[in-house]
Structure 1
Amino acid sequence: MGRGFIRKKMEGGAMSSNTDDFSNFGPFHLTSIDWTNSYYRTSVASSLVNGVYTLEGDRREKRVGSESLANPWWEFFNFTLMETLIDDDGAIYGAVFEYNLYSLYQNTPNVKVPHHVIAFRGTVLKGKTWKSDMKLNLKIMFNSLHHGGRPVHAMRTIRSMVEKHSESAIWLAGHSLGAALVLLAGKSMTSVGFLLESYIFNPPISTIPLEQLPGGDKIRGAFQIAKSVVKATVAVALADHKFQEDNTKTASWIPYLYVNPKDPICAGYINYFKHKTFMSKIGASKIERTGARKSVRCLLVRGKGKTSHSDLSTEPLHLLPSADMTVNYNKPTKSTTAHELHQWWERDSAMRENWESCCIRPYHKGKLGQLKQLTLEK
């Protein structure tokens, strides 16, 4: 899924001619960056992702020299393009950026500043790259994204950066299909002890978006509870033989998620975390965790084989114990659809009042801090 997917459906395939033009479309109102402010961090991260979209647009449209449009998306925020990540078909799917002013903040406590940001675009339904993009989207649906050539290349790049630099100064950012890459990479790196700050915009989720189905909250809630109980029972009976605890390493990774309830691609995260919180309140967390760890397909296809609790390839990509989630409740318009990336650098402060922040934690703050320290020590 990607920047143009919903717009293509709503506008008959027409793409606005200025979407790559920073001077018309970007967050040029941010003349200085307050790294202690989450809105500023969100705007920078989403702009760098849009820079990757525009890099691919420049390549595809053969825009070079003064005609290229990509550079302002990172240069405006004092970043330098270090490396472009290129797929087998020659398309640019990601980039590594370096923050030029990082050294000024090294001795500043309690300020989140990246030294490097690795950013990934979503699906582009133009040129030849749409085929490889859609193949990866299908892999997301069948929980096999880790088998793709692009994810393997992306993970190799991230591991190399972590080996060269402190992971505390490396950020990941992605939109839609790119958000799925960040989820995969973030969870994988966390499983080996590296916690990468991650900004995940409109990530796809392979569940029914209950928020958009008819019926009241009670009906939707009852459906979710029933599904968790059935899946947990089947998982215990066929595979794991016990209810699951949270993976403490994954629980210590707290990515930033950005979703819109009108976006069918990512809306399911809202109900997922709502259900997770409710099950915790009624003392049924183990049932919810056990049921969530396996998709219906995994239970049917792999149910007879035991799997490791840390085997990320067998669990749904969206499975997260912890998150800082921002929900944009603004209604889509003709110029702003629910899946668009540019909603996350919204210039109108009144519109930002309709953003809701949700912090999901499986443990209290002190316990989570202990888990994070243990993860970093391993």
Structure 2
Amino acid sequence: MDSDRFNVDELKHILRDGSSAAKIDWGNEEHRRCVVACMVKGAYVLESDRATMDRREELAPAWWESFGFHLENELREQKPPIFETIYGAIFKYAPCPRTPPHPRAPRYVVAFRGTMRKHPEWSVATQDIYLDFKILTNKLKKRTRSKLAYAAVDKLMDGEAGLGGDDVWLAGHSLGASLALDVGRDMMERRELNLPTFLFNPPQVSLTAAMNLLNAQDVAKRHLHFTSYLFKAGAATVSGRHQKRMEKLFDRLSPWVPNLYLHEKDWICQGFIDYFELRQRFVDRFPCVASKFMTLSYRDMLWRLLGKVKERPHLLPSAMLWKTAQSSLNAHGLQQWWKPNAELGLGAGTRYSYPVPQA
């Protein structure tokens, strides 16, 4: 496929001459975003190379070698005899020996691909769509692919002396973004490892997407959300034990600030935009009760009444949001995210933090 071939011309804004990875400024957000998005694309093309055996050449390596990385490990989900799919990859930074590494460059990038609906093997496409459904039911972390991802990152962190949180970056697109989000949460919650995380079009399961599809007015959405927040704040007094457990979890996760790259017209991920923006409006208006509603969801409270403890992965304490509405490409596509800031209309990202500062 032409879309699998690395196009140097598309990345002249960071490679400039089309060949020198030394031009990359790892302290520049635009450069970081573009490089990491390309490496997530590399995870997609790795799987395409595996599945398309009649190709005369491997197309995947250019997606990471162009930036001074080599392939350290393929992440495979093995379910013989049906298929053995590559769902991600670990890339190690290996710049030219004559060029000293940039102090802000990662040592490893762990990249997860998203759903491949047009995959030539029906079993792979079916498995991806099945995992999409598990995102809807909040059960992705229980699936084999998630467990393998947790184990792979654990092994990476334990396998090299002196490897710290800033040395390993997580990244993913769509389904892969949900996987990277779960892994990042797990590493922070379980090991207090704050891994830089880049999530491109991460799915968000909420009623917001349905409201947007129905073209609900902003005023109506704002009133509905504010009413909901007030109700949650009141309900928190009833579910006190669950509330305290979630506040403790939020406190532990709050230093982790994943980067969310979102398109305003992508209904799959736009719920994150409303979640954080409307949350902030409520915080500004009612700071005294803000910490109560931020940690709760209706589904959590329902499960609590049934004697089960759950929490929603979209209930993030902190995040850095980067959003665009100007791209002429597919709103849910990955390709837009290695475009220049000017083309995307990306300004400074907006940081949303927890805990809420009290007046």
Shorter-normalised TM range: 0.7 to 0.9
For 2:253 and 2:289, how far apart are their aligned partners in 1? 16
For 1:241 and 1:263, how far apart are their aligned partners in 2? 33
Residue 326 (structure 1) aligns with = 322
Note closer, same or farther for the CA distance 1:154–1:242 as it changes in structure 2 (3 Å cut): closer
- Offset at 1:137? 1.1
Residue 222 (structure 1) aligns with = 223
For 1:298 and 1:245, how far apart are their aligned partners in 2? 13
- Offset at 1:249? 1.9
1:124-179 Cα offsets, whole Å, 9 max, x none, are 01222111111211111111111100000000001111112322200001000000
Q: Map of 1:140-219 to 2, 5 A cutoff?
A: 140-164=135-159, 165-191=163-189, 192-207=191-206, 208-209=208-209, 210-219=211-220
Residue 21 (structure 1) aligns with = 5
Question: Which range is displaced more, 295-304 or 70-79?
Answer: 295-304
For 1:129 and 1:242, how far apart are their aligned partners in 2? 40
Residue 311 (structure 1) aligns with = none
Match of 2:261 among 258, 261, 264: 258
Note closer, same or farther for the CA distance 1:200–1:50 as it changes in structure 2 (3 Å cut): same
- Offset at 1:352? 3.3
Note closer, same or farther for the CA distance 1:206–1:25 as it changes in structure 2 (3 Å cut): farther
Note closer, same or farther for the CA distance 1:241–1:70 as it changes in structure 2 (3 Å cut): closer
Residue 371 (structure 1) aligns with = none
* Conservation of the 8 A alpha-carbon contact between 1:46 and 1:345: yes
- Tell me if 1:39 matches 2:30: yes
Residue 71 (structure 1) aligns with = 61
For 2:58 and 2:239, how far apart are their aligned partners in 1? 56
1:163-200 Cα offsets, whole Å, 9 max, x none, are 12322200001000000011101111111210001111
Q: Map of 1:1-378 to 2, 5 A cutoff?
A: 17-23=1-7, 27-31=11-15, 32-63=23-54, 66-88=56-78, 89-101=83-95, 111-125=103-117, 126=119, 127=121, 128-164=123-159, 165-191=163-189, 192-207=191-206, 208-209=208-209, 210-234=211-235, 236-238=237-239, 240=241, 245=247, 247-284=250-287, 286-287=289-290, 289-305=291-307, 307=309, 314-331=310-327, 333=328, 336-347=329-340, 350-355=342-347, 357-363=349-355
* Conservation of the 8 A alpha-carbon contact between 1:328 and 1:355: no
Amino acid paired to 1:158 = V
For 1:187 and 1:102, how far apart are their aligned partners in 2? 33
Amino acid paired to 2:148 = H
For 1:262 and 1:219, how far apart are their aligned partners in 2? 18
* Conservation of the 8 A alpha-carbon contact between 2:108 and 2:167: yes
For 1:55 and 1:36, how far apart are their aligned partners in 2? 28
* Conservation of the 8 A alpha-carbon contact between 2:322 and 2:346: no
Question: Which range is displaced more, 23-32 or 168-177?
Answer: 23-32
For 1:36 and 1:134, how far apart are their aligned partners in 2? 36
Note closer, same or farther for the CA distance 1:72–1:29 as it changes in structure 2 (3 Å cut): farther
Identity in percent: 31
Question: SS at 2:193's partner residue?
Answer: coil
1:207-228 Cα offsets, whole Å, 9 max, x none, are 1224554343221111111222
Amino acid paired to 2:137 = F
1:99-143 Cα offsets, whole Å, 9 max, x none, are 00298656x6xx421000000000001222111111211111111
- Offset at 1:354? 4.6
Matched residues, number: 335
Q: Which runs of 5+ in 1 are unaligned?
A: 1-16, 308-313, 368-378
Residue 4 (structure 1) aligns with = none
For 2:356 and 2:243, how far apart are their aligned partners in 1? 25
Note closer, same or farther for the CA distance 1:196–1:292 as it changes in structure 2 (3 Å cut): same
For 1:223 and 1:25, how far apart are their aligned partners in 2? 46
- Offset at 1:322? 1.1
For 2:236 and 2:130, how far apart are their aligned partners in 1? 29
For 1:22 and 1:41, how far apart are their aligned partners in 2? 17
Q: Which runs of 5+ in 2 are unaligned?
A: 16-22
1:277-300 Cα offsets, whole Å, 9 max, x none, are 11211234645x544544433333
Amino acid paired to 2:176 = G
Note closer, same or farther for the CA distance 1:67–1:293 as it changes in structure 2 (3 Å cut): same
* Conservation of the 8 A alpha-carbon contact between 1:279 and 1:285: no
For 2:72 and 2:336, how far apart are their aligned partners in 1? 27
- Superposed CA RMSD: 2.6
For 1:356 and 1:211, how far apart are their aligned partners in 2? 25
For 1:134 and 1:239, how far apart are their aligned partners in 2? 37
Note closer, same or farther for the CA distance 1:145–1:237 as it changes in structure 2 (3 Å cut): same
Amino acid paired to 2:91 = F
Amino acid paired to 1:318 = H
Question: SS at 1:362's partner residue?
Answer: coil
For 1:37 and 1:276, how far apart are their aligned partners in 2? 29
